Amino acid sequence: MKLSRTVSYAIAALLQLSQSTESGPVSCSRLAAVGGMPGRFLLQVLRNLVVHGVLRSDLGVDGGYTLNRPLDSISLLEVIEAIEGPIAASVPTTLSLPAESYIRLRTALDHVARLKRAALQNVSLACLLPDYLDKVS
């Protein structure tokens, strides 16, 4: 499985926010500078995370972004789907297969998509932190 650059930026920003030493919200420009990410692009990523309830956005001079809940309650699936939409099987309708073969292919891909979603749901962002194993040992 390959993560898109957009999802990678989302994960990086969420991890940065979780380890921020700032007392309030962190600006997009700060996240972009620290993470080496393009600010305008990151802003779109952060907005998607706000819309999906992963982040909270505060407006104003001291505004910025904060996690809406702890990293251990945010799954990798949630982040991926917030950025890219639901993970689902996709078979082109233009594929020239007999009807029964098409149905079997679709059924197999649906099964794979369910397994993938379940596996990603079980990976919390907290386990991506460098000191995660120290905390659970």
Distance of CA 61 to the CA centre of its chain: 27
Torsion of CA 79, 67, 132, 33, to 10 degrees: 90
Domain of 78 in residue numbering reads as: 5-136
Q: How much is the pLDDT for 28?
A: 95
Segment 6-43, tens digit of pLDDT = 999 999 999 999 998 878 899 999 999 999 999 999 99
59: amino acid identity, one letter: L
Distance CA 59, CA 44 (A): 15
- Domain count for the chain: 1
Predicted TM-score (pTM) of the model is 0.86
CATH number at residue 126: 1.10.10.10
- Indicate the pLDDT class of residue 62, thresholds 50, 70 and 90: confident
